[in-house]
Amino acid sequence: MSLTLPLLLLLLLLLTTIITTTTTTPLPSPSPSPSSSYPYGFSYHIDCGSPTNTTDPFNTTWLSDRYFSGGATSIVSEPLLFQHPHEKTLRFFPTSSGKKNCYTLPLPPSSSTSSAHRRFLLRTFVVYDNYDGKAHPPSFDVSVRSTIVFSWRSPWPSSLSRRGAYSDLLASSPSDADAVPVCFYSFATDPPVISSLELFSVDPNSYDAASTATTDIVLVNYGRLSCGSGQWGPGFSADSDRFGRSWQADSDYRTANSDKFVAVSTKYGIKGTDQKPNYFPEKLYQTAVTTAEEEGGVIEYELSVDAKLDYLLWLHFAEIEGKVRKAGERVFDVWVNGENLTRIDIYRSVGGFAAYTWHHTVKNLSSSALSVKFKGVKGAPLICGVENYALVPNDPSTVPQQAVAMKALKDSLRIPERMGWNGDPCAPTNWDAWEGVTCRMSKDNTGLVISQIDLGSQGLKGDISDQISLLSDLVSLNLSSNSLMGEIPNGLGQKSLIHLDLSNNQLTGSIPDSIASSSLKLVFDSHIIDVRFGIVGHGKATEGKEKVKLICINFGLITAFAAELELPYHIKKSCHIFVKKGLLNGNLLEGRVPEELYSIGVHGGAIDLSSNKGLCGVPTLPSCPIFWENGRLSTQGKIAIGLSCFFVFCVVVLLVFVFIRRRRNDYDFALPHELTCKSNFNEILPSSFNVFGDANYVLQQVVQYSWKEHLKIDKSSVAITELVEQENALAAKRNRYQRQKSLMLLEMESQHAKGLVASPYTQQ
């Protein structure tokens, strides 16, 4: 069995104990010495597999199972072996839930405006106890965010399988993150198991924040010892630890090289405890181990480690023996893996009954055991506590923008649970990416990006999310032979896209122009590539006929080169080759096909638009209506309608203008009846008057005559109202006659010119 679970050393101590955690209620006041208020009290505890909330003997509330992506619940086969409910239930993840399943644990709002990250302690309890009756403990990994932190491999030791084990770690997340994924990845058909999860918010500056509190490091607990005492801490005793840390007894880790030890303790208060940023509890410094040897004694511990990792070692001291009253009375050296690292004089550093810590990073281990030895120089050595944390570098995660796009795509495509699309799409890199997804490192090496999505024939029934446009490194997209509906997103058509297959779905609408602008159209480069050696030459091959873009996978990384080249067998066999291809057949698409898209087939690529009755505009397809394309008015149609509307508007304006002018010049061209005969002319004109010489006078006489005729009214027999009406009518006639002045002048001049008027007053 290969087991790298960090706290395997707890097994012998878990026979009758159970890990719980501090509650979110106010914590007890710290030690006798003054200390800052504690701002990081957020915590919660999940009883995996339990349908109800419970409370343990230490007044900690355990929440019912929640925040999981899938799986099923069960109970251990020997419930009476475990003291408390949260150890008896579990959640397991069968293959029907996919290979990757997660708990997405919410984080509290950030309490610090100056820190770019938040830190938390996560503790898990894992037990098998033959819950499924198969007597086969599973093999699986556990990751936090994108980093593998615990590994379980079958077969487990019988005591571990039956009684389980606790593990904890300290990790960080960006301050803007609202949750942390804890994921389980199964091997073969083994279903991962988890019995409880606990999360505590801790000070972001704790444990040497300058080098370990960034988001690049996870501190995995490989041993936390309280010297001279038994197991204690939240869940083991009524003693509290603000960070939820539990402390193990040290007796099982002392080696045979140690001298006879003596456990010492005190009830006096210890100065410097429960203070930021680490908030180490006072109880840790109230017990210690020393040797019976007065001079030159030796205390040695041996901790199991993974030689591939570096470790952060924290040592805790307090001078709690009253016989040491001045500096120099107790001096000892600290040796780590045979190297003398420092000399300690507790009293000289902090005085008596005061906490003192020293830490060191251990690198370049050559074995799986870490030796920590205290060797007396003056008096006997003394130690209160030992902590050892593996420094696990964070794996790269998916670029946040692309992770958001993939989660939106998961929802819109209605990805089934069996595909295991949970947690980070690409990380951890030791695991497979989401089923049907291929990832690579970004060009600037800051994260992982999505390069391929292959979900053909998966029974998908949703639509394609618009956020697929955020996948700016997508090379190949295959969603063929599903039942996808809706329109093709306008953002689909990234510059990187080479292979697109959306055939045999129920997609509607038009083909967006963005697809025509993608790399589906031919791009030539000056490189010829051979996957066995990388780039081996420049220029174009002379024998090739297919124009392609090569995607060659070497050592897990994808490198793209564009070229027109021959395709020898060894390249075809060794490399993923994508001929430029756009397959949209078998849908309900309509409208004009962009010419750039159709040109793919003309220049050696592959394009299939068949079985789309509404498409038009390219050879083999019907012609498009002049004014209608893509299910809506074309640009030409919009222009034509615009011009037509403008023409109609102009005509209406012209007619209105003519009508107004005509009303303004609307007068009666006819002369009064009295002026239509010669006798009337003789009555109103003098005998010596020359019509053509005194036209104005003639008009004046005509007007006066008219007034005389129409004013012959018997006012005594007409009502006042009728007089008013007649006055108004006469006023209208007056205006009309004034307009006739110019008309008559023109008419008489015309008659004179034609010789139609023979006036008796004209000289012969």
- Band of pLDDT at residue 517, cut at 50, 70 and 90: low
Tell me: do 234 and 256 sit in the same domain: yes
Question: What pLDDT sits at residue 123?
Answer: 95
Mean of pLDDT values over 403-409: 96
Beta strands in 189-346 (DSSP E): 193-194, 196-202, 217-226, 248-249, 261-265, 287-291, 298-304, 310-318, 331-336, 339-344
Please indicate, yes or no, if residue 666 is contained in any of the structural domains. no
What is the rounded distance in angstroms from the CA atom of residue 403 to the CA atom of residue 445?
Answer: 16
Residue 592 near residue 624, CB atoms below 8 Å = yes
Tell me: do 380 and 333 sit in the same domain: yes
Structure tokens at 70: 């899938």
pLDDT digits (tens, 9 = 90+) for 26-66: 333 333 333 334 566 788 999 999 999 999 888 889 999 99
pLDDT digits (tens, 9 = 90+) for 295-329: 889 999 999 999 999 999 999 999 999 999 999 99
Question: What pLDDT sits at residue 216?
Answer: 83
Please indicate, yes or no, if residue 439 is contained in any of the structural domains. yes
Highest mean pLDDT among 247-261, 509-523, 590-604: 247-261
What is the rounded distance in angstroms from the CA atom of residue 259 to the CA atom of residue 295?
Answer: 11
Tell me: do 267 and 148 sit in the same domain: no
Tell me: do 150 and 198 sit in the same domain: yes
Tell me: do 407 and 385 sit in the same domain: no
Residue 500 near residue 469, CB atoms below 8 Å = no
User: What is the CATH number for 384?
Assistant: 2.60.120.260
Please indicate, yes or no, if residue 505 is contained in any of the structural domains. yes
Tell me: do 425 and 381 sit in the same domain: no
Question: What pLDDT sits at residue 609?
Answer: 81
- Band of pLDDT at residue 606, cut at 50, 70 and 90: low
User: What is the CATH number for 198?
Assistant: 2.60.120
What is the rounded distance in angstroms from the CA atom of residue 333 to the CA atom of residue 547?
Answer: 71
Please indicate, yes or no, if residue 113 is contained in any of the structural domains. yes
- Band of pLDDT at residue 71, cut at 50, 70 and 90: very high
What is the number of structural domains in the chain? 3
Question: What pLDDT sits at residue 75?
Answer: 96
Residue 640: helix, strand or coil by DSSP? helix
pLDDT digits (tens, 9 = 90+) for 340-387: 999 999 999 999 999 999 999 999 898 999 999 999 999 999 999 999
What is the rounded distance in angstroms from the CA atom of residue 22 to the CA atom of residue 30?
Answer: 14
Please indicate, yes or no, if residue 368 is contained in any of the structural domains. yes
Tell me: do 352 and 428 sit in the same domain: no
Tell me: do 344 and 470 sit in the same domain: no
Tell me: do 439 and 379 sit in the same domain: no
Please indicate, yes or no, if residue 7 is contained in any of the structural domains. no
- Band of pLDDT at residue 602, cut at 50, 70 and 90: low
CA-derived radius of gyration, the chain: 48
Tell me: do 274 and 419 sit in the same domain: no
What is the rounded distance in angstroms from the CA atom of residue 167 to the CA atom of residue 44?
Answer: 16
Tell me: do 253 and 315 sit in the same domain: yes
Asked if pLDDT for residue 582 goes beyond 70, the answer is: no
Question: What pLDDT sits at residue 115?
Answer: 66
- Provide the mean pLDDT of the chain: 78
User: What is the CATH number for 457?
Assistant: 3.80.10.10
DSSP for 15-53 reads SS-------SSPPPP--SS---------EEEEETT-SS-
Please indicate, yes or no, if residue 288 is contained in any of the structural domains. yes
Please indicate, yes or no, if residue 694 is contained in any of the structural domains. no
Cα-to-chain-centroid distance, residue 161:
39
- Domain's final residue, options 204, 235, 255: 204
Tell me: do 200 and 235 sit in the same domain: no
pLDDT digits (tens, 9 = 90+) for 635-684: 777 888 888 898 899 999 888 888 887 765 554 444 454 444 444 444 44
What is the rounded distance in angstroms from the CA atom of residue 450 to the CA atom of residue 460?
Answer: 20
Q: Which of 266, 253, 241, 450 is nearest to 369 (CA)?
A: 253
The boundaries of the domain holding residue 254 are 224-393
Residue 128 near residue 137, CB atoms below 8 Å = yes
* pTM of the model as a whole: 0.70
Question: What pLDDT sits at residue 557?
Answer: 29
Q: What is the DSSP letter of 701?
A: H
Question: What pLDDT sits at residue 258?
Answer: 87
Asked if pLDDT for residue 438 goes beyond 90, the answer is: yes
